[in-house]
Structure 1
C-alpha cells in the first residue's frame, strides 16, 4: 500500500470533464477546481488537494479537439467510462532516477518537458518520464520533477486526505519486478484485470476510486 510521501498525484481519466467533476463532488462533497489545459489544448483537467503534497487530477479531452496522431494521453481518445488510469511519483533528480531504473532492468522513458496553462494566464512547468505504453496498464507510475511553483496540492480545494493506494493485476509479480526496479513500493494483489484503487478520507466518509 503506497503512503502519501511517495505520491505526487493520482490521475482519474473521464470522457467529459464537467460530468467527471460533478461525479467526484457527489462522492466526496468537495468540488474540484479547474486546473487549465495541456497537450497543446487537447486535454483539460480539474484538481482536488489530497493533503501532504499530493492531489487528485481529473483529466478529459477538450471537446472538439483532435490530436494530429489521433492519440491522447492516457488513452483518452477511446475512454468511455471514468477510470483511475495511473499515478505519479515526484523526484528531485529525474535523470538519476531514470538511469537507476534502467540499470535495474526497467526503462521508464525519456525525460520530457511538460506544462499546463493555468486559468489565470500563468504557466506551470515540469519534467516527466513516461512511457507510451505504461507498464502494468498504468499501475507502474510515471516520474515527475516540478520546475515551477506553487505545487497543485497547495492551491486546489482542500477537505480530502489521501489514505492509501493499491493495485490488482492478473500477474502481480511481473508488475512488482518493475516497481522494484523503479524503487517504488506498492501493494499489488492478483485480480482479474489491471486496476488501481485509491482510498480517500472525505467529508462524506471513506471513498474508493478505481
Structure 2
C-alpha cells in the first residue's frame, strides 16, 4: 500500500472560517498558504499549498465577497463547525476513459462538468471534474479532475510542504477499497468512523492534519 495515493491531484481541507484556518496552518507549519482564487457562483474561495510534485492542498471556505443563499457553498462548508479534510481528487491520464472504466466496474463517479476560477494574477484556470454530489457520501472516494490546457496550480510557484502520508478510516473498508479499485487508485484504510489524516514535512517538522 502506497503512503501517497496513486494519481493524487489534491486534498480538500474545508473550513467554515477560511482566514482562521489559513492562519492555523501557517502557525503549525511555518508555511503560509497563498490565495488561489474565488469559485464563481459557488460562494467559496481557496488558498493553496503544494504537496510536492503535481499534488497540492486546497484550503476552501466561504468567500465573504459572494452573497449566496444558505447551503449554496461547495464541499459542505455551511455544515462545518471546524476545519477538516473532507475529500480528495485524482487526475487520471484520460478523464472520460476513467469514468467509463469505473462505470463498467459498477461505480459511477459522476458526469464531468466544467468549472473555472481566476488566479490573482488574472490567469483564467478552466478544468473539468466529476460531480461530487454523486460521489460516495463519505468523501473517501475521490472525485476526478482534468486541467486540460490550463496550467496546473502547482506550476504557479506555490509554497511547499511535501506530503509524507495520507490515511483514512471507514466503518466498511472493503466497500471503499472496491470503489477505489474501480478508479485505479488506493488509500491506506483502517476501520473506524469516517475520517482523513495527512502528514506533511515542514520547517517545524512533521505535522499531521485531520
Q: The TM-score by the shorter chain falls in which range?
A: over 0.9
Offset, 1:119: 1.3
**TM, length-normalised to structure 1:** 0.92
Name the counterpart of 2:199. 199
The equivalences for 1:55-70 within 5 A come to: 55-63=56-64, 65-67=66-68, 70=71
Stretches of structure 1 that go unaligned for 5 or more consecutive residues are none
After the TM superposition, which parts of structure 1 deviate over 6 Å for at least 4 consecutive aligned residues? none
Q: Deviations over 1:73-104 (max 9, x none)?
A: 11111111000011110122111000100000
Name the counterpart of 2:148. 147
Q: Comparing 54-63 with 68-77, which one deviates more in the overlay?
A: 68-77
- Whether the 8 Å contact between 1:30 and 1:159 is mirrored in structure 2 is yes
In structure 2, the residue corresponding to 1:132 is in which secondary structure?
helix
Offset, 1:68: 5.0
Aligned length: 209
Q: Comparing 39-48 with 153-162, which one deviates more in the overlay?
A: 153-162
The answer to whether residue 30 in structure 2 is matched with residue 24 in structure 1 is: no
Stretches of structure 2 that go unaligned for 5 or more consecutive residues are none
- Whether the 8 Å contact between 1:140 and 1:179 is mirrored in structure 2 is yes
Name the counterpart of 1:81. 82
Over the aligned positions, Cα root-mean-square deviation in angstroms equals 1.8
Aligned partners of 1:41 and 1:117: how far apart in 2? Answer: 14
Aligned partners of 1:71 and 1:126: how far apart in 2? Answer: 20
Aligned partners of 2:55 and 2:154: how far apart in 1? Answer: 5
Aligned partners of 2:91 and 2:200: how far apart in 1? Answer: 20
